[in-house]
Amino acid sequence: MADEAFEGFSGYGFSLRDEKGRFAIPVDFRSDLKQASDGRKTICLDIHPDWECASAFGLSRRRDIKSIIAQAREDARENNERFDRLELTAQLTGFSKIAFDDSGRFVMPSDLLEDCGIEDAIYWHAVDDHIALFNPEILYDRGPRFMRNRCRRAEREARAKAAAKAKKS
């Protein structure tokens, strides 16, 4: 399965960390991530360049790096700003590649958890070619306002589902 038909991510979701320290990729994103990673169950994670969160994307992003750099160089030239190709390349290629299982479970690297302030929960929100992963508390306090009510609703549903599952056990 190649990513030729991949047109970007859409939607949002929520996941809680399980007892083994794993998060689960929301169902709506699993097949898109697999498609964006040439059929492999791989999620790429990095610090989001502009927001206080992590960024998730597929392996296909590697093919876009040269064009992203070329566009950034042109933008800097047009705006008479400094451009450092090596710095931008280091930012674009320093992501973690992590396998996920059939249920979408994966372990987020501890440095990303710390850098993005993620603890026991993640709010996932599609942003075209990547997915923003927020600590809900940071999102409620400082994140994009339009995401906050969706996150609150998704968090209530996820916590209620987890409580019902725990009650059955």
pLDDT number for residue 66: 87
User: 14-58, pLDDT tens digit by residue?
Assistant: 999 999 999 999 998 999 999 999 899 999 999 998 889 999 999
**Cα–Cα dist 101/15, whole Å:** 15
pLDDT at 1: 44
The full set of domains in the chain, from first to last, is 12-168 (3.40.1550.20)
Give the torsion through C-alpha atoms of 120, 121, 122, 123, to 10 deg. Answer: -160
Parts of the chain with a pLDDT under 70: 1-5
The per-residue pLDDT for 102 is 93
pLDDT score, position 3: 40
- What contacts 128, CB < 8 A, 6 or more positions away? 8, 9
Please tell me the pTM assigned to this model: 0.86
